[in-house]
Chain A
């Protein structure tokens, strides 16, 4: 029997009790993993075990695919009209609203982000995403295309079938909804693997989905490790599409597995080393504020982090002074303290990786301006860190650190800055700060990034597409564009009277 996770929250920002089954969610039931094993869920605030959840295996993925296939052929797919699919998604969003505090608390406990951040951003963003795609469910239209009067030619945008989805640990609930919302709205059934580091909100969402009335098998969640469950999904012969958000390294493996198995359709949301370009004529105070959010939000654990901050030399000194002051004043601490801005990194592995990058920066000769050390003595906390005097070849400038570590680079030449900004294998996001609107637009158009922010950073909405150029990914999530990831186009040609000659 799968375990029941019970926890009493008694914190300044949230008091409440949770209790829910933490099995795999397959065919509408919470079940043990096939091997009967479990995975410990660690609280990054203190390194202690929060609970254990069931561990899925390749066999469990097979069972989930069976259930998803059956649901697709009977209660879902085009057997369920769009407006009904939309209604179920709306119900799920309403349930999330009812349990918003609880979801935020689980997220903070599991991931380490501040409760206030989870409650203020992650949870509302997740709900908005579900509501947005609920609205698309009955609006998936094909085209009627004129060819000749003797033919009736049209397209259908059909659901793909069983889709596999693998999500990361940095925004667990938000990423969960970004994946399931467009997939379910378009009529697909889902086998989803949350990160083994942060499974709790995903499991709680399964309970809510069941309560909302989704018939069994439409949404299946198999918790487990990447190299077992994740790999089983990406190489499964009966999964015809896989969507992944995570590191570029793992993204490659998934694409390879897809190619080697059944050439399943792949969309990837991967890493970034996004440039934040601040020109002399920027509104300085605003630029500092956005730059700070750009790199330190979510403990720096964001694919779109503005981790390379380019500051034009005319304002460099003043920018650095203000940016440093702001960064120094960041409250690092317990996610459940009311004034915490930055919590711990998500895991020991991540903590070690980030500290490793900081070391490499020092060894390569970069200068630590502030930070660079562990914060406190318990949990995976790292001080907000600023590196100066870097060189483009340094690892801390080229590679994604995924922590609260910023690199500030002075630039002079306006002509050259775009080249510097684009000098990366990544292309997820970028930002430009300037009051000169012409410069803003021309620079934005030259940056090779899927999202460019002008005079802001990090804003996202469910109706605006998001995704990467180059090695930051394939495909776009959010907005109408997401629907293309989850539909197959069928062209139907009906002959109305064309007769061919027989000889």
Chain B
């Protein structure tokens, strides 16, 4: 059965080939036991792009077996750091070669503008792979002095083993790179479950894995429904670690499944909200460069059409500059063009699916009905496509749903404060702690406030800019563990301590 879809890119007329099978042992195959398929939708037109194989639990088993075999033979401790480095660099080169077509497929499936997918998502992903390629031959342990006359003790940082990786739909390629790069650098093998909403680029990237020369079974890709493939991975007895980015609710399920099965290492960072969610605070103090702060505030809530785990969705503005700042903010928010991803003018695309569209709108309606004041947006667009325009609410109160819950769309709640203490209290008043931002020209204030904010990433005088070498992760219910930077290596290595006796005689009996 031909596991390839031929898709025409509407804007260019070009035809691209997309593999639609399950990627196991460097080949695209059908499901072992299921005829189910996942329909992949274009959120700008609501049309179906193509369908891909929906992996079953047995398919997950096959993928895990392949990953285990590779780990025991061609990967894991059987491959040098130098070789892992070489292959990761080769993969980065191939992605760079194909970045335009990858960007177009990403835009078709996720909705984000092509130029942003290419220059930011894919650009960052290439750098991420190269960054971790550089770490692959630098995984060191320690030698530890115990007793120089009798023994040496040392640690080895060994690869954990077979890793299940479950990634979301908001940055499909970038989230793929964040997971794949450190895992492979450390010597782990992977069973990747991309989001059922956005499986296409993960499948195309799997082709590049094979082309780069990774041995079969090192990376396996199983598009699948979360409750099927994701659940199977998290309770699998032969998966050593699961890494997940997604909603807190699903994160809990994964951790539970991990605990009930083989106590696999579970690490998750939350992304999508269902009921509870992340709600990153963004604070504007009176000494801030208001024009710049307004730009960053817009970026913070409107980038990726608000579908970002660290979206600065609660904005707190100091009393003394409130009116002036709000005016700037609204004017700037109006400038964003949300439209088709293939239109060069678009700075944002539709939200990813009907479900998300309905959810975002239900929050906007709740904001209106709970009495928040709408200063921008709030009107549905006619026609096709899940487009949501920038929406700003003011006069919000703490208990409103739009203030408590993560909306995951371009919807901002704006509040006001008088003192620094008040701002900090407002900001930290959430069960989440992924990101936070503050704008101030007072250096001491910057230090105090960044110290006080309960978040895994604090931005001072900017927002949402990440670096591959700077760790990322959440406090409180935003997650466990850190991605990026050298810190990610700890997620994919296991420390073994070796005690090597060369001079101590055991006394017996005691």
Contacts and interface: CB of A to CB of B under 8 A. Distances in A.
Interface in B109-157: 127, 130-131, 133-138, 140, 148, 152
A131 B152 contact: no
B381 to A, nearest CB: 40
B83 to A, nearest CB: 11
Contact of A480 (B82, B140, B448): B140
B319 to A, nearest CB: 23
Interface residues of B, number: 28
B469 interface: yes
B137 A135 contact: yes
A497 interface: yes
Contact of B131 (A83, A141, A149, A437): A83
Interface in A475-503: 480, 494, 496-497
Given A135-B135, A497-B444, A463 B130 contact: no
B506 interface: no
A139 B134 contact: yes
B349 to A, nearest CB: 28
Contact of B130 (A86, A442, A445): A86
Contacts of A137: 134
B486 interface: yes
A83 B130 contact: yes
B81 interface: yes
A445 B148 CA distance: 9
Contact of B134 (A135, A152, A441): A135
A441 B153 CA distance: 12
B500 A441 contact: yes
Interface string A420-453: 0000000000000000011001100100000000
Nearest to A152: B447
B152 A441 contact: yes
B502 interface: yes
Contacts of B451: 149
Contacts of B136: 135
B134 A86 contact: yes
Given A494-B447, A496-B447, A138 B134 contact: yes
Contact of A136 (B130, B134, B502): B134
Contacts of A131: 82, 85-86
Contacts of B227: none
B469 A442 contact: no
Interface string A179-193: 000000000000000
B503 interface: yes
Nearest to B131: A138
A128 B448 CA distance: 45
B234 interface: no
B500 A83 contact: no
Contacts, number: 65
Q: How large is the interface on A (under 10, 10 to 19, 20 to 34, 35 or more residues)?
A: 20 to 34
A82 interface: yes
Given A441-B502, A496-B447, A132 B131 contact: no
B477 interface: no
Contacts of B443: 494
B89 interface: yes
Interface string A89-121: 010000000000000000000000000000000
A337 interface: no
Nearest to A446: B148
Nearest to A439: B502
A134 interface: yes
A463 B84 CA distance: 14
A463 B137 contact: yes
Given A445-B148, A496-B444, A496-B448, A139 B502 contact: no
Contacts of A83: 127, 130-131, 468-469
A394 to B, nearest CB: 34
A83 B126 CA distance: 11
A128 B137 CA distance: 11
Interface string A150-173: 001000000000000000000000
A497 to B, nearest CB: 6
Interface string B46-86: 00000000000000000000000000000000000110011
Given A138-B131, A497-B444, A463 B148 contact: no
A139 B469 contact: yes
A68 B327 CA distance: 50
A131 B130 CA distance: 11
Contacts of B130: 83, 86-87, 90
A497 B152 contact: no
Nearest to A90: B89
A463 B81 contact: yes
Given A82-B469, A86-B130, A442-B503, A136 B138 contact: yes
A480 to B, nearest CB: 7
Nearest to B88: A135
A141 B133 CA distance: 17
Interface in B441-495: 443-444, 447-448, 451, 468-469, 486
Interface string B84-102: 0110010000000000000
Given A86-B134, A480-B140, A138 B469 contact: yes
Contacts of A136: 134, 138
Nearest to A495: B444
Contact of A437 (B89, B127, B135, B502): B502
Across the A-B interface, the 6 shortest Cβ-Cβ residue pairs: A135-B134, A438-B502, A496-B447, A441-B502, A138-B469, A463-B137
26 contacts: A83-B127, A83-B468, A83-B469, A86-B130, A86-B134, A90-B130, A131-B85, A131-B86, A135-B134, A136-B138, A138-B134, A138-B468, A138-B469, A139-B134, A141-B469, A141-B486, A438-B503, A441-B152, A441-B500, A442-B503, A462-B137, A463-B137, A496-B444, A496-B447, A497-B444, A497-B448
Given A82-B469, A137-B134, A463-B81, 17 more contacts: A83-B468, A86-B134, A135-B85, A136-B134, A138-B131, A138-B134, A138-B468, A139-B138, A139-B469, A141-B469, A149-B451, A445-B148, A463-B137, A463-B140, A480-B138, A494-B447, A496-B448
Interface of B: 81-82, 85-86, 89, 127, 130-131, 133-138, 140, 148, 152, 443-444, 447-448, 451, 468-469, 486, 500, 502-503
Interface of A: 82-83, 86-87, 90, 128, 131-132, 134-139, 141, 149, 152, 437-438, 441-442, 445, 462-463, 480, 494, 496-497
